[in-house]
Amino acid sequence: MESEQTSDSNESEQNELFEIVDGICWVSDWGLRNLRFSLSYQTRPDDLFIVTYPRSGTTWMQNIVYNLLTNGQPFNVSTIDFFERNPHLEIDGKKCIETMRRPGAIKTHLPMHRVPYNSLAKYICVIRNPKDVCISYYIFYNMWPDVPKLEFDRFFECFIEGYLPFGDYFEALRSAWQRRHYDNVLLVSYEEMQTESQSVIEKIANFINVVLNDQLLEKVMKYASFEYMKGKFDDERRKFEGKFIENIKMATIESDDDSSNEWSLLAQSYQDVFVPRFQLLYDTMAHYAVKKIQSNDTRDEYQLLDYGTGSGEPILTILQQLVTNHLYNVKLQATDSSRRMLSLAEERLRKLKSQHLTVNFFINDDSSNKNVYDIITTSLVLPYASNHGQMLRDFFQQLKPNGLLISSHWPHPKQVPFLSIIKRINQFMATDLISIIMAEYNNNIVHSPLELKGLSKYLSLIFHRSLERAVWAFCELGIADLMADYQAPITASELCRLNGNNWNAEFLYRLLRVIADADIIKDLNNDGENSTKYSHPEEIIQFQLTEDGLLLTSNHFSKARDMIRLDLGPNAEKITTYFPSLIKFGYNNGNSFEQAFGCSLFDYMQKEENKEYANIFNNSMVAYSYYMASAIVSVIDFTRFNKLVDIAGGLGTSLSFILEKYQNLHGILFDLTHVIENAKMMDPNEFQRKNIESTRYEFVAGDMFKSETIPSADAYILKYIIHDWNDEKSIEILKSIRYANKTQIEKTITVFIIEMIILSNDKDNWEAHVMDLEMLSGIGSKERTLNEYINLLNKSDYTLKQLYRTKGLMSIIEAVTTTTTTTQNCD
């Protein structure tokens, strides 16, 4: 029993160490935006990746490649040039990748199968023996300031289990090894780099198409040698980054001669290199700042001091939300110790033209500034001040009553521990403080059954189920429509009297109380006191739709109401009761829907008496399309194509989003005859709603299993289609598209398969797993793993080109096939 308790304790400790994000083991403090960008990054044909597990020779390989690309330039000649040519994909993020100097190499610690793939890009994979990686990683890991410190025994367990930042060493090794024969992949071992360095350099030069003469080989052998690099890279990097950290302290020093201020000398480099890397912090700061200001919304104008303005990016991020949306008038005083920095800030803020904004810039002189402010903001300054206690004291003296101090910084700066600042703040009479990092933690508490343990898990499941039933009843009764038409706050009793209804006012009130808890409607009388003080609250308490509630009106373009009615309605409940039988007997008696209703889902919707259900089903598909559409256009570049066909595209929601963004693209909505007729009859239709010219889209009726009815094009979308069918039918669909494009000449077509794909070690898989059960019981189909999709593609004569992850539930497979006049009919 004791050993079991110890095991449980270790498991609990392990679960608290790191976070699993999209299947990647990650440190929460590193942020999620850049990691998710890295997984969905659209590779360029000229991209060169250096793919390694941490401590496997990454820096060494970077230096070899850097020397080859710069004709043998040592790293320390231009530190900035090195970093700008070698951004770290999952750490540095979008701006650094998009603005990197080329030629260069993108560094990544993602396993090879998770690195965005392009057959024209090139990938250098470096592997190293696990013993040396483990020991080196242990030493390096414990130098990081923002991770829980581990003794070697515990670290070794995590290493073996694959539970360390960037994931499983053995998975990364296997992933690289399996792709060693790809034409655009070069696999190199660390040990080979040590013992056969010249051969490795020659091999790399040939791989990246660099002409290697004797002079260049000599330089690379010298400047990229292990002996030359040992210590120098880290020394130069610390020197480079240390200048910025040390000079942040200069924000409190007055300087008459700006040329002597190192902060000014480094200004342009700071703006070019560090500002993009800190964007996540700026965005988070702006989010909580605006949220807090709006919660204290008692005035139209704010006096704002931005202390340590730097190049202006942090304060600009806040002002864009406050001023651009005309929420407030802002009088800003921006201050910094560097005139050069202020000139960069002035140039940046000048772009934000608004009559609601007045800005003055001045050099720091704390003694002469006697103004008081509603808000003081400071970013990446407070923890690094030489006397942060005095700085805090000055800030609070300059705050008006009920003023706000907004300070943002990383949670573990070495100079001043974060919590010591919080303790110091408690010594002063601060009216309010926004601490960005702490706010992140405190506002992300989610009471989900997935996050709870013990009996609480099951109680949460039950309560969530009851909440779902309440939301379904709210939609089924059309209460959102009644409230929207009333156009004023309304009580439960008043709702019951509308349109001749004779509902039970007390029961309706009790339903509305739950719907208000879900923030679908708002209780306008909720003043913090218990509503039971009213003997008849149904006659007194008024409710009003929230923005989310408006989505549940019948005429809302999102069709969210019908999505709820379909998936939480009585038919869905009835299907569920047959699920145990399906587990016991398989499909002997049909799937759950067939057992419940005596026919398939699609046959059921064809019957006249089920016409309303069919309309609800089709409208719910529109809701899912709206949810997916913005994600699709955000990750796929459709400028490559001339004509795009949305196969079984419903009413055209997704296609209209794509055509709206890509003005030179022609779209074809393809579906069964009755669906196309419904799409045409909409007034306005989805394309007209977005003012898309009628010459840019077509409605074509047909059958995706009959290739002769499918229009020829260079790209196709299959959105939530393949998961409806078994493997045989899925292959038939893919081959039909291929055969529809037989030509006299060779032609390449692209198919985008948009589904909830089950990915390896992905914490979001639970959603795909749940949907898989829905497909299993509802129509006898399935959600698939990536390997299962690859098998389908191979059997249909397609090749996987790239996998895209989106911010939503789905992933996108880009597959290509080549057709000619000899392409065989799938029939």
Residue 355 inside a domain? The answer is: yes
Task: Indicate whether 411 and 386 sit together in one domain.
Answer: yes
Q: 357 or 509, which is more confident? A: 509
**How far is it, in rounded angstroms, from Cα 699 to Cα 677?**
9
Residue 72 inside a domain? The answer is: yes
Residue 706 inside a domain? The answer is: yes
**How far is it, in rounded angstroms, from Cα 811 to Cα 36?**
12
Domain boundary among 208, 230, 252: 230
pLDDT of residue 13: 42
Domain boundary among 442, 463, 480: 442
Task: Indicate whether 409 and 501 sit together in one domain.
Answer: no
pLDDT range class, residue 544, cuts 50, 70, 90: very high
Residue 235 inside a domain? The answer is: no
Task: Indicate whether 769 and 726 sit together in one domain.
Answer: yes
Question: Can you give the CATH number for the domain in which 18 is found?
Answer: 3.40.50.300
Q: Is the pLDDT of residue 235 over 90?
A: no
Cβ of 737: how many Cβ atoms within 10 Å? 24
pLDDT of residue 729: 94
Residue 27 inside a domain? The answer is: yes
Tell me what the mean pLDDT of segment 529-558 comes to. 81
Bridge partners, 819 (sequence order): 747
Task: Indicate whether 640 and 545 sit together in one domain.
Answer: no
Cβ of 352: how many Cβ atoms within 10 Å? 16
Q: Is the pLDDT of residue 426 over 50?
A: no
Question: Can you give the CATH number for the domain in which 464 is found?
Answer: 1.10.10.10
**How far is it, in rounded angstroms, from Cα 307 to Cα 365?**
11
Task: Indicate whether 188 and 277 sit together in one domain.
Answer: no
Tell me what the mean pLDDT of segment 352-378 comes to. 74
Residue 3 inside a domain? The answer is: no
Residue 601 inside a domain? The answer is: no
pLDDT range class, residue 530, cuts 50, 70, 90: very low
pLDDT in tens, 735-755: 999 999 987 678 899 999 999
Q: 17 or 296, which is more confident? A: 17
Task: Indicate whether 208 and 102 sit together in one domain.
Answer: yes
Q: Which residue range forms the structural domain that includes residue 781?
A: 613-819
Which residues are known to be catalytic? 109
Spell out the residues 6+ positions from residue 358 whose beta carbon is closer than 8 angstroms to its own: 330, 331, 332
Task: Indicate whether 203 and 271 sit together in one domain.
Answer: no
Task: Indicate whether 428 and 477 sit together in one domain.
Answer: no
Task: Indicate whether 429 and 484 sit together in one domain.
Answer: no
Tell me what the mean pLDDT of segment 226-231 comes to. 65
What secondary structure, in 3-state letters, does 146-183 show?
Answer: CCCCCCHHHHHHHHHHCCCCCCCHHHHHHHHHHCCCCC
Task: Indicate whether 438 and 471 sit together in one domain.
Answer: no
Spell out the residues 6+ positions from residue 630 whose beta carbon is closer than 8 angstroms to its own: 657
Question: Can you give the CATH number for the domain in which 268 is found?
Answer: 3.40.50.150
The number of domains in the chain is 4
pLDDT in tens, 4-16: 333 344 443 444 6
Domain boundary among 522, 556, 590: 556
pLDDT of residue 822: 61
> Using alpha carbons only, what angle is made at residue 19 by residues 417 and 760, rounded to the nearest 5 degrees?
155
Task: Indicate whether 220 and 285 sit together in one domain.
Answer: no
**How far is it, in rounded angstroms, from Cα 328 to Cα 344?**
25
Residue 563 inside a domain? The answer is: no
Task: Indicate whether 438 and 534 sit together in one domain.
Answer: no
